[in-house]
A and B are shown apart, each in its own frame.
Chain A
Amino acid sequence: MKKFNILILLVIALSLFSVGTVAAQGGTDEISDDEVNAIASQLFCPVCENTPLDVCETQACKQWRELIRLKLSEGSTEAEIKEYFVANYGARVLSEPPREGFSLLVYFVPPAIILAGLIILFRAFKQWQVDDEDETDASVTEASPISASETGDPKDDYLARFEEELRKRD
Chain B
Amino acid sequence: MTENTPENTAPKRGMPLWVQITVWTVLIALLVVVFMGLQRAKEGNVQAGAETGEFDFTMPLFEGYEYEGAQEISLTELRGKIVVLNFWASWCVTCKDEAVELEEAWRLYQPGGEVVFVGVDYVDTEPEARGYLETYDITYPNGPDMATQISQAFRIQGVPETYFLDRNGVVQHVQLGPFRSTEQILNIVDSLLAE
Interface residues of A (CB under 8 A from B): 46-47, 58-60, 63-64, 66-67, 70, 86-92, 109, 112, 116, 123, 134, 138, 152
Contact = CB atoms under 8 A, between A and B. Distances in A.
A134 B6 contact: yes
B144 interface: yes
A66 B91 CA distance: 13
A64 B91 CA distance: 11
B181 interface: no
Contacts of A70: 127
Contacts of A86: 147
Interface in B103-161: 123-128, 144, 146-149, 152
Main secondary structure, interface of A, reads helix
Contacts of A112: 26
A58 B123 contact: no
B32 interface: no
A111 to B, nearest CB: 13
Contacts of A63: 90-91, 124-125, 128
Interface of B: 4, 6-7, 15, 23, 26, 30, 89-91, 123-128, 144, 146-149, 152
A63 B152 CA distance: 22
A86 B148 CA distance: 10
A60 B90 CA distance: 8
A88 B146 contact: yes
B89 A60 contact: yes
Contact of B147 (A90, A123, A152): A90
Nearest to A137: B6
A86 B146 CA distance: 9
Contact of A59 (B91, B146, B148, B152): B91
A134 B147 CA distance: 62
Interface centre among B7, B89, B147, B152 (most CB of A within 10 A): B147
B23 A116 contact: yes
Contacts of B4: 152
Contacts of A47: 91, 123
A51 to B, nearest CB: 13
16 contacts: A46-B123, A47-B91, A47-B123, A60-B89, A60-B91, A63-B91, A67-B125, A67-B126, A70-B127, A88-B123, A88-B147, A89-B147, A89-B148, A90-B147, A92-B148, A138-B6
A64 B126 CA distance: 10
